[in-house]
């Protein structure tokens, strides 16, 4: 180990020098003279005097440098049987024209635009068009229900909403437009215009505020890049917290561009002309950072994939795309690999394809279980590299820096902290615990460039959610430990956030839906281990006194209610009626003990338990099942 320790130490000892040097990878209309503005802690800003445009950095500058004919985006959609490709010039032209569409609808720098789209190139076009105007996009994942979309519209107050008429799931065509209409009805300050990309699988009926994407594009004048301050917001991305209300993570322009460019070169070892595929969704942070922005910022080719890893059409779906487009790295969640392994354990499909272009498999989004790790290494014969990050951080907190200095891989560890992330493992008293002991993973402030700057219009919640538990630190919500080599091991969330198929969800919001049912006195939703999705939610409800129900009927109603109010992505399939929930004497439900029993672990039951018999009675319904 030579380069990494030096680089990491420099980033912490002299952040100004380190990040100003890294800022050289980005084109600025006014280059920053300072990196960190720490005049208003705990609200730090990066490159306070710099000005730039993120879309210019992602597209125009590559064209100006003579690379307009290079592939920028490859779209592969096995679910529709279509594919297409865009050079940098073609993508820039589409983006500039759609920026003109948005401007024609009154969108200016600072205005918000909500994007609710499946994995189509137009989703990337819409994001970059917002960036081009200095407008702030907020992409909402298509698996969320109208109520969740409405909550995001209410908070972001977008001027315009951009959607597609439908998305395609293996078992059904999902009509988006009726959901948008329902959400708009619920939102107190709805957008004044909705732009609809019509897809043949289900064309939408347009109303008075709706516009057809194609028609507007035909008439639009291309718009130029609008210069913004580095600290101006680029996007809002809502993520699950411990309570039902989603948190609007605010990402800036300058810090984001610098951090992502650094990560592409140094973590992923990627550069101009490489073909990069992040098999995620633009509705999640991985999609923002590594489908849309980072690959384009460094002049690489990004693959936009609409479909699942298996069944579209078979278990070779991923391998087919890699071989067809000579993909150099795949980035996905472990759950996708588990899905493939489940239907094709011997990897017979994989053997049919030439995967010689593939250099690395990057995995993140949930804990990488050693079994999945070993299967992937053996079958693919390339390094399988875990790394750990969150919506809030926007890029890896801990990773194996393949571009800077590849480090030995230890299964189960996302490896070492990345520059600017001063990671500490703190006990409940806020003191660092001895090496090897598991406790709260925290990051000393300030966080590096590219991380969240606050929560949208809610500085107070930002401080209360992340900065108040351990003063001077950002609390990640994850627990873990460092080993003797300085490798970090991330073991799981220490709060009520769960991770289902790489999707981050709040059990609190599911509990809110269950509790709203008139028959329910109290409830708990816990995440239990699942061999495919990592975790799945399970609900437990206690009925109000005197309520009689037909077995199975209420349970089904509650499952449907969660799907209706949160969306299919919540993946709550099981609710059980129980006589009581285990609680402490102060009335707190012992979810942690329930989780431990459900996962087959031996979690000591706290001495503060009110009535141990209640927990004992639950053991049979909680016991793990395959």
Nearer to ligand COA, 51 or 199 (CB): 199
Is 537 a binder of ligand COA (CB under 6 A)? Answer: no
**Partner whose binding site includes residue 190, from ligand AMP, ligand COA, none (CB under 5 to 8 Å by kind):** none
Which residue in the set 504, 533, 583, 595 belongs to the binding site for ligand AMP (CB under 6 A)? 504
- Report CA torsion sign: 507, 509, 513, 519: positive
Structure tokens at 53: 């445009």
Structure tokens at 239: 């993520």
Is 365 a binder of ligand COA (CB under 6 A)? Answer: yes
What is the crossing angle of helices 146-156 and 553-565, to 10°?
Answer: 30
Is 535 a binder of ligand COA (CB under 6 A)? Answer: no
Burial 195-225 (b: 16+ CB within 10 A, else e): bbbbbeebebeeeeebbbbeebbeebebbeb
Nearer to ligand COA, 58 or 572 (CB): 572
Is 138 a binder of ligand AMP (CB under 6 A)? Answer: no
Q: How many CA atoms lie within 13 A of 42 on its CB side?
A: 22
What is the x/- site pattern for ligand AMP, positions 354-373, by CB under 6 A?
Answer: ----------xxxxx-----
Contact 286, 278 (CB under 8 A): yes
Is 280 a binder of ligand AMP (CB under 6 A)? Answer: no
DSSP output for 537-570: EEEEEEEPTT----TTHHHHHHHHHHHHHT-GGG
Which residue in the set 20, 490, 510, 578 belongs to the binding site for ligand AMP (CB under 6 A)? 490
Burial 170-187 (b: 16+ CB within 10 A, else e): eeeebbbbebbbebbeeb
The CA-CA-CA angle for residues 45, 51, 52, to 5°, reads 110
Nearer to ligand AMP, 399 or 615 (CB): 399
Is 410 a binder of ligand COA (CB under 6 A)? Answer: no
Tell the residue number behind the tokens 């592409």, with chain if given. 264
Nearer to ligand AMP, 98 or 466 (CB): 466
What is the x/- site pattern for ligand COA, positions 170-199, by CB under 6 A?
Answer: ----x-------------------------
Is 285 a binder of ligand AMP (CB under 6 A)? Answer: yes
Is 251 a binder of ligand AMP (CB under 6 A)? Answer: no
Is 387 a binder of ligand AMP (CB under 6 A)? Answer: yes
**DSSP helix/strand/coil, 581:** coil
Which residue in the set 477, 527, 537, 539 belongs to the binding site for ligand AMP (CB under 6 A)? 477
Q: How far is the CB of 167 from ligand COA (least distance, A)?
A: 5
Residue 568 CA, chain-centre distance (Å), reads 17
Structure tokens at 578: 């129980």
Nearer to ligand COA, 37 or 369 (CB): 369
Q: How far is the CB of 435 from ligand COA (least distance, A)?
A: 30
Burial (CB count <10 Å: 0-12, 13-18, 19+), residue 2: exposed
**DSSP helix/strand/coil, 72:** strand
Is 595 a binder of ligand AMP (CB under 6 A)? Answer: no
What is the x/- site pattern for ligand AMP, positions 9-48, by CB under 6 A?
Answer: ----------------------------------------
Kindly identify the residues of this chain, within the stretch 99-138, that bind ligand COA according to CB under 6 A: 118
What is the pairing mode between strands 82-87 and 71-77? antiparallel
Burial (CB count <10 Å: 0-12, 13-18, 19+), residue 548: exposed
Structure tokens at 13: 């000892």
Q: How many residues bind ligand AMP (CB under 6 A)?
A: 21
Distance, CA of 399 to CA of 453 (rounded, Å)? 22
Is 372 a binder of ligand COA (CB under 6 A)? Answer: no
Is 281 a binder of ligand AMP (CB under 6 A)? Answer: no
Which residue in the set 121, 167, 248, 299 belongs to the binding site for ligand COA (CB under 6 A)? 167
Contacts with ligand COA by CB under 6 A lie at 118, 142-143, 167, 169, 174, 279-281, 284, 286, 308-309, 332-333, 335-336, 339, 365, 500-503, 533, 568-569, 571
Contacts with ligand AMP by CB under 6 A lie at 239, 284-285, 364-368, 386-391, 414, 477-478, 490, 493, 499, 504
């Amino acid at each position: 180990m030579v380069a990494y320790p030096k680089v990491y130490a420099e980033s912490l000892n002299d952040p100004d020098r380190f990040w100003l040097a890294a800022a050289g990878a980005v084109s600025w209309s006014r280059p920053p003279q300072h990196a960190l503005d720490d005049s208003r802690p705990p609200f730090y800003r990066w490159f306070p005097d710099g000005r730039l445009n993120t879309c210019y950095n992602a597209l125009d500058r590559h064209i100006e440098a003579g690379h307009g004919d290079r592939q920028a985006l490859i779209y592969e959609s096995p679910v529709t049987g279509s594919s297409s490709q865009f050079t940098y010039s073609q993508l820039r032209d589409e983006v500039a024209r759609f920026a003109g569409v948005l401007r024609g609808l009154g969108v200016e720098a600072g205005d918000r635009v909500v994007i609710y789209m499946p994995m189509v190139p137009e989703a990337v076009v819409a994001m970059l068009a917002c960036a081009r105007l200095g407008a702030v996009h907020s992409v909402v994942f298509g698996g969320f229900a109208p109520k969740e979309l409405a909550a995001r519209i209410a908070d972001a107050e977008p001027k315009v909403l951009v959607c597609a008429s439908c998305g395609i799931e293996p078992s059904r065509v999902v009509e988006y437009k009726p959901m948008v209409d329902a959400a708009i009805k619920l939102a107190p300050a709805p957008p004044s215009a909705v732009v609809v990309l019509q897809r043949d699988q289900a064309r939408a009926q347009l109303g008075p505020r709706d516009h057809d994407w194609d028609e507007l594009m035909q008439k639009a004048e291309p718009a130029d890049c609008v210069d913004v301050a580095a600290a101006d917001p680029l996007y809002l991305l809502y993520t699950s917290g411990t309570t039902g209300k989603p948190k609007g993570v605010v990402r800036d322009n300058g810090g984001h561009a610098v951090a992502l460019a650094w990560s592409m070169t140094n973590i992923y070892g990627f550069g101009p002309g490489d073909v990069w595929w992040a098999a995620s969704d633009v509705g999640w942070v991985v999609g923002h950072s590594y489908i849309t922005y980072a690959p384009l910022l460094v002049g690489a080719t990004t693959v936009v994939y609409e479909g699942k890893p298996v069944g579209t059409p078979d278990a070779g779906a991923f391998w087919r795309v890699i071989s067809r487009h000579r993909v150099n790295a795949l980035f996905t969640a472990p759950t996708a690999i588990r899905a493939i392994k489940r239907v094709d354990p011997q990897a017979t499909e994989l053997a049919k394809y030439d995967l010689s272009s593939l250099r690395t498999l990057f995995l993140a989004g949930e804990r990488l279980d050693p079994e999945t790790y070993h299967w992937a290494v053996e079958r693919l014969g390339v390094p399988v590299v875990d790394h750990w990050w969150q919506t809030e951080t926007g890029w890896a907190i801990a990773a194996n820096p393949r571009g800077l200095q590849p480090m030995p891989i230890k299964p189960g560890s996302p490896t070492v902290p990345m520059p600017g992330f001063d990671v500490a493992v703190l006990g409940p008293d806020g003191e660092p615990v001895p090496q090897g002991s598991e406790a709260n993973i925290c990051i000393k402030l300030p966080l590096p460039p590219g991380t969240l700057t606050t929560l949208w219009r809610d500085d107070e919640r930002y401080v209360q959610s992340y900065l108040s538990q351990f003063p001077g630190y950002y609390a990640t919500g994850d627990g873990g430990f460092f080993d003797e080599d300085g490798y970090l091991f991330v073991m799981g969330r220490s709060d009520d956030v769960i991770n289902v198929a790489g999707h981050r969800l709040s059990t609190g919001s599911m509990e809110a839906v269950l509790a709203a049912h008139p028959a329910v006195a109290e409830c708990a939703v816990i995440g239990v281990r699942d061999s495919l999705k990592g975790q799945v939610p399970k609900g437990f409800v206690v009925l109000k006194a005197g309520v009689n129900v037909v077995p199975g009927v209420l349970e089904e109603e509650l499952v449907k209610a969660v799907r209706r109010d949160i969306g299919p992505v919540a993946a709550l399939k099981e609710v059980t009626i129980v006589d009581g929930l285990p609680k402490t004497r102060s009335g707190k439900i012992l979810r942690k003990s329930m989780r431990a029993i459900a996962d087959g672990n031996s979690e000591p039951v706290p001495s503060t338990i009110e009535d141990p018999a209640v927990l004992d009675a639950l053991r049979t319904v909680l016991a793990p099942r395959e």
